[in-house]
Structure formats: structure tokens, C-alpha cells
């Protein structure tokens, strides 16, 4: 077996729970099969990963659940040593408990450590749809509708089905509108974050509100689905700032993105089904840190390049994806 990686940094949530700073992403980008991802989950846990970022819409929670069951039975890891997230998908905002129970059943767990509202509106598109798909029932963000969903999240927390609750794909103006109304504050905020899209204001806002930011697409999602690609996108692993730091450390530019994220104070959830990659992504946070000068240089890599634009969630009459991020 490969080496076992320890001493990965961690964050303490506002619940008191400790969450590793690196987790394995599990969205296969319509490219990797559920079984391939579940096999990677098994391999990743065996080499030291203790966090998984799951979601019902990734359509692989049952395969991951079977792998977890096997690892528990084999004595590789105990449930309490893992930090597992899941998310309610957009079409289940009015039945959050049912959605959560389905994820728990699929994952074979009695609770998840963190449960997210995946997107702040109930606008639905079929998994795997193309970028031009629109749903005529889609609506703009509504504080009332969001809070109805959040109340159901709070009930899940009260019932012990989830140990913390979080939000995802939010903006500062949406957070300003909903945080004062929350009985239970979010413990974490999942947000797109990589060198070319640093979201410094949102990152600072989360930290100031004692919400741990979790950065998704940390490597710039090089395998993302076609619907999430456009001509103006930049590749994080080709940015001159990232390439220079990578050359100086003799590491892959992807690994620079992970080091940068964790040293900046993010939890990061890189996806990979390839063992050498997922080993590097965890191990890199335990050795050979970036210098203060390198962290400064990487600040200059920001190109304000959002990759997950969410255009499939636009409502009738809205034609510009930036309206989703107001």
C-alpha cells in the first residue's frame, strides 16, 4: 500500500466540529463513472483522506455508500473519523428531509457531517443537460423561498440527521439578506475558488461571519462538462504566476493551486480518480509550503474568471448569467 498521509491541516466549524482542510471532490463532470469515483474514494481513504464532498446530483452516493460500508467492515476507518458532506439538489427545496434521508440511505450513514443547500434557488435542470437548456419554471432568488428551505435544514440539524448546515453558490447580497433571518448560522460556505477566481470579498465576508469557506473547482476544473466551458475561460494550470511557482517547487501547477488554497485559509475539495494525483493533492498540504512572496505573486493570478456560471438556472426573461450572481 502507498504511504499513509497524516497531519493534514484542519478547521474548526462554529459547531465545534473539526473539518479537514482537504477533501476529495466526487463530481465526475459527466466524464468519470460512479464506480470509478467510488474506487477512488476507497483508495483516497486508504491513503489518508478523511473528508468527502458528496451531493445527490452527482449520482454516485449509492456506489460511494457501498465502498464506505466495505471500509468500515474491513476496519480501515471508523465513521467518526470521516467528515462527509452532501447537498440538497434544486428540485427538492420543498422536501429537504426526504432528500437528506435518501442521501443518508445511499451513503449508508445515520448522519452527514455537513449538509448544504446546493444552489440558492429551486431552479432545476436535468443532470447532464447541455448549456442552452432552460426550465420555464425557473425563478429569480427569493429570500422567502430560500428561508423556507433553510428552516427545513435547521430541522435536520435539530433532529441530528446532519451535524452542521451550509450554503453554496451564494453572493454577499444574498447572504446579507438571509443571515439575519437564520436561527442556525451556516457553518460553511461552498464557493468557486481557484487562482484565476479568488472571490476575495466573499472569502473575507465568510471569515468575518465565522463561516468556513470551502473552495470548489480548486484546480480550475480542467475536466468540467462542455456546458461549463466558454471561450473567455482561462486555465489555472497555465497561468504564468502558477507555472512559475510550480517550476520553482518542481511540482505540477495543479498542486500549487491546492497549496495556495489551504495556505490562504480555504478548505479545498479537489477531484481526481487518479491515485498519483489524489495523493499529491493531500500530501502537498503537509510539506514544502509556499513562501509569503509566492502567496503574494499568486494573488496576481486573479482574472475574475468564473467557470461555473450557472446559465442553465436562468429564468424566463433573464438572458445573462451574471444575473444569477447579483
Ligand X SMILES: NC(=O)c1ccc[n+]([C@@H]2O[C@H](COP(=O)([O-])OP(=O)(O)OC[C@H]3O[C@@H](n4cnc5c(N)ncnc54)[C@H](OP(=O)(O)O)[C@@H]3O)[C@@H](O)[C@H]2O)c1
Contacts with ligand X by CB under 6 A lie at 25-27, 29, 53, 118, 168-169, 190, 216-224, 252, 254-255, 269-272, 274, 277, 280-281, 308
Q: For residue 321, how many other CB atoms are within 10 A of its CB?
A: 17
What is the rounded distance in angstroms from the CA atom of residue 174 to the CA atom of residue 323? 12
Q: Which is nearer to ligand X, 156 or 195 (CB)?
A: 195
- Nearer Cβ to ligand X, position 269 or 298? 269
DSSP-assigned states of every residue in 147-199: HHHHHHHHHHHHHTSBS-EEEES--HHHHHHHGGG-SS--SEEEEE-BTTB--
The CB-nearest residue to ligand X is: 25
In angstroms, give the least distance from the CB of 210 to ligand X. Answer: 20
Write the burial class of residue 55 (CB in 10 Å: 0-12 exposed, 13-18 middle, 19+ buried).
buried
**Residue partners of 30: CB distance under 8 A and separation at least 6:** 128, 225
Shortest separation between residue 260's beta carbon and ligand X, angstroms: 12
Nearer to ligand X, 26 or 152 (CB): 26
Query: In the 8-state DSSP scheme, what is residue 284?
Result: G
Q: 254 vs 305, which CB is nearer to ligand X?
A: 254
Nearest approach, Cβ of 50 to ligand X (angstroms)?
Answer: 15
Instruction: Tell the smallest beta-carbon distance from residue 137 to ligand X (Å).
Output: 20
> What is 99-146 written as a DSSP string?
HHHHHHHHHT-S-BSEEEESSSS-----TT--TT---TT-----HHHH
Q: 24 CB contacts (<8 Å, ≥6 apart)?
A: 40, 41, 44, 49, 51, 52, 53, 269, 270, 271, 272, 278
Closest to ligand X by CB, 163 or 194: 194
Instruction: State yes or no: is 11 an active-site residue.
Output: no
Radius of gyration of the chain (CA): 19
Catalytic member of 58, 124, 205, 278: 58
User: Minimum distance between the CB of residue 218 and ligand X, rounded to whole angstroms?
Assistant: 5
Nearer to ligand X, 158 or 240 (CB): 240
Least distance (Å) between residue 200 CB and ligand X: 19
Which of 21, 65, 71 is CA-nearest to residue 44? Answer: 71
**Which are the catalytic amino acids?**
58
Amino acid at each position: 500500500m502507498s504511504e499513509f498521509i497524516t497531519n493534514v491541516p484542519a478547521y474548526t466549524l462554529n459547531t465545534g466540529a473539526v473539518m479537514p482542510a482537504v477533501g476529495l471532490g466526487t463530481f465526475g463532470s459527466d466524464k468519470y463513472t460512479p464506480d470509478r469515483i467510488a474506487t477512488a474514494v476507497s483508495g483516497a481513504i486508504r491513503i489518508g483522506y478523511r473528508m468527502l464532498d458528496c451531493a445527490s446530483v452527482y449520482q454516485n452516493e449509492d456506489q460511494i455508500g457501498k465502498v464506505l460500508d466495505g471500509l468500515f467492515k474491513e476496519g480501515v476507518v471508523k465513521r467518526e473519523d470521516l467528515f462527509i458532506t452532501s447537498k440538497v439538489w434544486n428540485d427538492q427545496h420543498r422536501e429537504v428531509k426526504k432528500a437528506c434521508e435518501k442521501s443518508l440511505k445511499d451513503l449508508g450513514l445515520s448522519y452527514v457531517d455537513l449538509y448544504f443547500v446546493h444552489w440558492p434557488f429551486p431552479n432545476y435542470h436535468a443532470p447532464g443537460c447541455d448549456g442552452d437548456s432552460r426550465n420555464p419554471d425557473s425563478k429569480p432568488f427569493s429570500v422567502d423561498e430560500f428561508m423556507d428551505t433553510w428552516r427545513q435544514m435547521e430541522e435536520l440539524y435539530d433532529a441530528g440527521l446532519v451535524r452542521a448546515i451550509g450554503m453554496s453558490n451564494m453572493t454577499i447580497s444574498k447572504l446579507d439578506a438571509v443571515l439575519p433571518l437564520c436561527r442556525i448560522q451556516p457553518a460553511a460556505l461552498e464557493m468557486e475558488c481557484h487562482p484565476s477566481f479568488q472571490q476575495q470579498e466573499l472569502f473575507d465576508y465568510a471569515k468575518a461571519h465565522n463561516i468556513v469557506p470551502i473552495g470548489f473547482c480548486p484546480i480550475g476544473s480542467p475536466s468540467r462538462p462542455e456546458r461549463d466551458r466558454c471561450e473567455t475561460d482561462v486555465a489555472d494550470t497555465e497561468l504564468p504566476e502558477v507555472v512559475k511557482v510550480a517550476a520553482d517547487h518542481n511540482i505540477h501547477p495543479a498542486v500549487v493551486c491546492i497549496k495556495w488554497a489551504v495556505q490562504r485559509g480555504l478548505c479545498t475539495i479537489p477531484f481526481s480518480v487518479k491515485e498519483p494525483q489524489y495523493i499529491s493533492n493531500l500530501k502537498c498540504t503537509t510539506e514544502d509550503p509556499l513562501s509569503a512572496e509566492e502567496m503574494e505573486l499568486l494573488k496576481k493570478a486573479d482574472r475574475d474568471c468564473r467557470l461555473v456560471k450557472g446559465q442553465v438556472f436562468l429564468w424566463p426573461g433573464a438572458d445573462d448569467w451574471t444575473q444569477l450572481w447579483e
